[in-house]
Amino acid sequence: MTEELKTLIELQQIDSQIISLKHTLDTIPSELKKIDGMINKFDKEFENEKKKLQDLEKKRKEKERQIEDLHEKIKKLKEKTSQIKTNKEYQALLLEISLIEDSIKKEEDNLLLMFYEIDENIKLLEKSRKEWESKKNEILQLRKDIESDAEKINNEIENLKEKRKNIVSQLPSELYEEYKELMKKHKGLAVAEVIDEICQGCFLHIPPQLYVEIKLNQTIKYCPQCGRILYYKSKDKKEEQKVSSE
């Protein structure tokens, strides 16, 4: 195999690795966005649970004020008893007090139920908080791992770019320009292997005579269908010796 062909194959391998790594890198922002979305969702759900508890506490205070107001009302009515002159007025006053006392009992029962509901919500909120903190830590760790992977990929890409510079320096400028055009035209695959007379770039059949010449790897050959630079990879030493003898 000629040195130029070896260099082109090596360059293609480097570029294929870079393309693959960049593709992986391109998916990371969407993964991070998805993770941030999960965190925001859980945060929102937890805040909703907190708000529910806050609303219950607000209603409890309002209920306690209502009961206090009713007690104050009874107090004022009882103060009026000394001013009552007739039995009819007195009975009416007692009835009003009795009705208010019934209302107080009813509201106090409601308040007890409210205390129970608040207590249950506090327990649920605490349970949710612990579960969410545990889950959030896992998600945040996953985010750190992805960011760490992104850094490793970037470093690997930079290392490959350095290797690439050295490889490119070994190619004639015209051949490299041709390689770049093929890379652009064929979306990252300029050099393709031929397997069983099939170009692995376009997967079309290679003419028999051209296939024989490609197997020699002595000159740069092109796919008659897609124009990619072609090479043949021998499977073992015996086959390599056979091809050389041909």
**One pLDDT digit (tens) per residue for the chain, 246 residues:** 899 999 999 999 999 999 999 999 999 999 999 999 988 988 898 899 899 999 999 999 999 999 999 999 999 888 888 788 888 888 998 999 999 999 999 999 999 999 999 999 999 889 888 888 888 899 999 999 999 999 999 999 999 999 999 999 999 999 999 999 999 999 999 999 999 999 999 999 999 999 999 999 999 999 999 999 999 998 754 454 444 444
Distance (Å, whole) CA 76 – CA 62 = 21
Q: Residue 244: its pLDDT value, please?
A: 44
For residues 24 and 82, state if they share a domain: yes
Query: Residue 192: helix, strand or coil by DSSP?
Result: strand
User: Is 199 in contact with 225 (CB distance < 8 Å)?
Assistant: yes
Decide which of 110, 140, 168 is a domain's last residue: 168
For residues 148 and 214, state if they share a domain: no
Query: Residue 200: helix, strand or coil by DSSP?
Result: coil
For residues 23 and 82, state if they share a domain: yes
Long-range CB contact pairs, 174-183, < 8 A, 24+ = 175/4, 175/8, 175/220, 179/8, 179/11, 179/229, 182/227, 182/228, 182/229, 183/15
Decide which of 153, 168, 183 is a domain's last residue: 168
For residues 179 and 161, state if they share a domain: no
């937890």: which residue's tokens?
46
Domain count, the chain: 2
* 172 class by beta-carbon count within 10 Å (0-12 exposed, 13-18 middle, 19+ buried): exposed
- If residue 221 lies in a helix (H) or strand (E), which one and from where to where? strand 221-222
CATH number at residue 108: 1.10.287.1490
CA distance readout (Å), 127 to 1, 38, 113, 134: 69, 19, 21, 11
For residues 86 and 206, state if they share a domain: no
For residues 119 and 186, state if they share a domain: no
pTM as predicted: 0.69
Q: Give φ, ψ of 232 to 5 degrees.
A: -120, 135
For residues 80 and 161, state if they share a domain: yes
Q: Residue 8: its pLDDT value, please?
A: 97
3-state helix, strand, coil in the chain (%, to 5): 80, 5, 15
Query: Residue 199: helix, strand or coil by DSSP?
Result: strand
Q: Residue 241: its pLDDT value, please?
A: 46
User: Is 210 in contact with 224 (CB distance < 8 Å)?
Assistant: yes
Tell me the residue range of the domain where 83 lies: 3-168
User: Is 100 in contact with 158 (CB distance < 8 Å)?
Assistant: no
Decide which of 130, 145, 168 is a domain's last residue: 168
For residues 143 and 183, state if they share a domain: no
CB-based contacts of 28: which residues, under 8 Å, 6+ apart? 146, 149, 150
CA distance readout (Å), 89 to 75, 78, 94, 96: 17, 12, 9, 11
